[in-house]
Homo-oligomer: A and B are copies of this chain.
Amino acid sequence: MSLWRQRPERVATKIEVGILGATAMVGQQLIALLEQHPWFQITWLAASEPSQGHRYGDLPWRLPGKVPAGLTDQKVEAPRPRDAPQLVFSALDAAAAGEMEPAFAAAGHYVVSNARNFRMDPFVPLLIPEVNAQHLDLVLIQQQRKRWRGAIVTNPNCSTIFLAIVLAALREFHVKRGVVTTMQALSGAGYPGVASADSAANVIPWIEGEEEEIEIETQKILGRFMVNSIEPASVQISAQASRVPVLHGHTEMVSLEMGERVSSEQVEEAFREFPGVARTLHLPSAPTKPIVVHLERDRPQPRLDAETGAGMLVHVGRVRKCSVLDHKFVVLGHNLIRGAAGAALLNAELLVARQLFAPVQGLP
């Protein structure tokens, strides 16, 4: 049985959602994105012990401006399933997510997670709606196998998302291998993240776990859903990750070897024509066209491009021949939005659009 039934009915009243990790950087970005959301309304904020019991407006807010007005007086709760709405975003760090997310799923919650813990679990979908929306069906298998009334769905690592979208756009050219160097922004490390004493006017040529995640998650995302599991794609990526003193926006230098002989123009064209899901799935946060191709010789740049299109776009530039592999180009995306909070939000929208999740009265 597929979830692919029909477009969602109009949502009459907003769906209540909660945030696990409401004081984390990604949690705050989620809160900012949800402020005007047409479907969702935050009714529950949870965080670790030091923040519990405080008004959310009294806790440090690390994004520009102030806490959204409606949440200033919201009390921060302990992360216990019984108090939370059925749909919960998780911006937990890996140390907390490992135990907490399954507990919520077991208790009947749908956990839309940005944490890394269950991304590679064979029964947890690793979703980018434009790339592998059909992987969402894995949720049904997940519920059977794990005996959960709820579920966990995840989005990939930030750098992986931008790369996977680009690779999906080139699917017809049968990309075989790729070499990627990332130059990742400070905000990708969360808060407090990287010490300024380490990062100021410096490059740190290593990010814990990042390269492995890029290499392995890409294969799962681009893999095929087969009966009840994902068969990983064979594309082989070799990544080198670095941290650079940029605020938001991960830049990636990509060289690809393809199974087909194509021109740079065809590559650009494939990027430009890569379809969004805004029209087909009607996800309100999805861009009409997920990939923007820049023609200036020195773009995309994180400071000038990452925030355009509400931070939900993948930017590509300098598409040209590679003398070692076949083509090379620059990729850029907003790590906090398209690469994390916006990615989770899109996955939640997909859950609703596909009617997998339908808010139930009286849960749990």
Q: Interface of A with B (CB < 8 Å)?
A: 25, 62-66, 177-179, 181, 183, 186-187, 189, 191-206, 215, 236-238, 240, 242, 244-247, 249, 251, 253, 255, 257, 297-305, 307-308, 317-318, 322-325, 328, 330
Contact = CB atoms under 8 A, between A and B. Distances in A.
Contacts of A246: 201-203, 245
Contacts of A240: 181, 253, 255, 318, 328, 330
Nearest to A187: B197
Given A200-B247, A253-B242, A302-B202, A324 B192 contact: no
B323 A183 contact: no
Nearest to A65: B308
Given A186-B196, A200-B247, A237-B323, 5 more contacts: A195-B195, A203-B251, A205-B253, A205-B318, A238-B322
B236 A323 contact: yes
B25 A179 contact: no
B205 A236 contact: no
This protein's copies in its complex = 4
Nearest to A184: B203
3 closest A-B pairs by beta carbon, nearest first, are: A192-B195, A181-B181, A238-B324
B195 A300 contact: no
Contact of A324 (B186, B237, B244): B237
Contacts of A183: 183, 203, 242, 244
Contact of A196 (B64, B181, B196, B324): B196
Given A195-B191, A247-B201, A64 B305 contact: yes
Contacts of A305: 64-65
Given A244-B183, A304-B65, A318 B192 contact: no
A245 B185 CA distance: 12
A201 B330 contact: no
A301 B205 contact: yes
A243 to B, nearest CB: 9
A246 to B, nearest CB: 6
A115 B206 CA distance: 33
9 contacts: A62-B304, A65-B304, A196-B245, A201-B303, A206-B298, A236-B324, A240-B253, A244-B245, A324-B325
Contact of A244 (B177, B203, B318): B203
A307 B247 CA distance: 15
Nearest to A309: B65
Contacts of A187: 197
Contacts of A181: 181, 240, 253
Contact of A308 (B64, B191, B215): B64
A324 B328 CA distance: 15
B242 A251 contact: yes
Contacts of A191: 195, 197
A202 B301 contact: yes
Given A205-B317, A206-B318, A322-B238, A307 B197 contact: no
